[in-house]
Structure 1
Amino acid sequence: MKLVRFNQTEPYFPNTFSGMLDKFFNENMGTPIKHFNPAVDVSEDEKSYEIQLAVPGVKKSDFKVDLTEGKLTISGERKFEEKKEGKNYHSLETQYGSFSRSFYVPEDIHAEDIAAVYEDGVLKVTLPKKEKKVVKAAIEVK
């Protein structure tokens, strides 16, 4: 079974013309956005599923990883610090604000062994799979 992305709280490409204009002016005029969706990579091998979020500049203490009723939610906040003496921003492309990404997880994981590690701007969440028991029996042909 594969991990399935739950839903995004705010789509990257707005579905209305006014939403597109809001996104254009908020991102291109230097106004920090209140919410954003970090890039996510999801992979799987024989032993585990792995989710990687690209969120540089966030403190470890600003993350929250929660598993409730089969839904893994990763949330946090990248704070914008406006009080920089002597700096005038001409362009502000980095996304700031709060984020939340949710995924439905398969039933074949060890929930108590989920691990999250934040290193070099990437949050890596590992969801170990339960070992599959191979049941093998010889059946006698009569």
Structure 2
Amino acid sequence: MKLTKWDPFREIDNLFSKYLTHVNQPSIGTQELLASGDWAPRADIAETDSEFTIKVEIPEIKREEIKITIDNGVLNISGERKHEKEEKNTKYHRIERHYGKFLRSFYLPDNVTEEQVDAQFEGGVLTLHLPKTEKSKPKQIEIAVK
């Protein structure tokens, strides 16, 4: 067994990291609902002229176990990652991955066409495409100078 030197600053850093992952989650706009699951997967949100894109990391979850709903302008992504079966002769030294039910909820901007939201799930990453309404897309108007 390898001995490592105890570093109290590393412990403090780990404590703050755990706290900040639950407090500092990014969202569309700046509003996000509080998650009520056991854990909340990480999400990246991007915007182009025509759509918002949300990418959520949820590895080791089957496509059928992911539920995506939109209710009153709130996008909900939920599911569950089940804990692996423990083997009798296996001794775990550290478990850092999250298990149990998860939920991410985002308030959607008014300029999203909710009926046309598209979702793909590949390689443990759920990608949602939220198209913007036609009236919200920027238009370039050329004005002649007289």
- TM-score strictly above 0.5: yes
Q: Distance in 2 between the 1:60 and 1:5 partners?
A: 27
Confirm whether residue 92 of structure 1 aligns to residue 118 of structure 2.
no
* C-alpha deviation, 1:85, in angstroms: 5.7
2:120 corresponding residue in structure 1: 117
Unaligned 5+ runs, structure 1: 11-33
Deviation per residue, 1:69-127 (Å, 9 max, x gap): 11111111111122446433222111111111111111212211101111111111110
Aligned length: 114
More strand by share: 1
TM-score (norm 1): 0.69
Query: In the alignment, is residue 39 of structure 1 matched against residue 42 of structure 2?
Result: yes
2:32 maps to amino acid: F
Amino acid at match of 1:104: Y
Quote the residue 1:72 is aligned against.
75
Find the counterpart in structure 2 of residue 26 from structure 1: none
Residues 97, 110 of structure 1: alpha-carbon distance in 2 compared, 3 angstrom cutoff = same
Q: Offset of 1:5 from its aligned partner?
A: 3.5
Structure 2 residue corresponding to 1:7, chosen from 33, 38, 43: 33
What is the root-mean-square deviation of aligned Cα atoms in Å? 2.5
Q: TM-score, normalised by structure 2?
A: 0.68
Gap change, CA 1:116 and 1:84, over 3 Å in 2:
farther
Q: Which structure has the higher relative contact order (CA within 8 Å, separation 6+)? A: 1
1 or 2, which has the higher helix percentage? 2
Determine if contact 2:33/2:107 at 8 Å carries over to the other structure. no
Take 2:41 and 2:100, find their aligned partners in 1: how far apart are those partners?
11
Question: How is 1:21-36 mapped onto 2 (pairs within 5 angstroms)?
Answer: 35-36=38-39
2:53 to 50, 53, 73: 50
Q: CA deviation at 1:59?
A: 0.8
Residues 124 and 88 of structure 1: CA distance in aligned 2, closer, same or farther (over 3 Å): same
Q: Distance in 2 between matches of 1:107 and 1:75?
A: 22
Q: Which aligned runs of 4 or more in structure 1 are off by greater than 6 angstroms?
A: none
For 1:9 and 1:112, the matched residues in 2 are separated by 24
Percent sequence identity over aligned pairs: 35
Q: Flag the 1:92–1:68 CA change in 2: closer, same or farther, 3 A.
A: same
| Structure 2, unaligned runs of 5 or more | 1-27
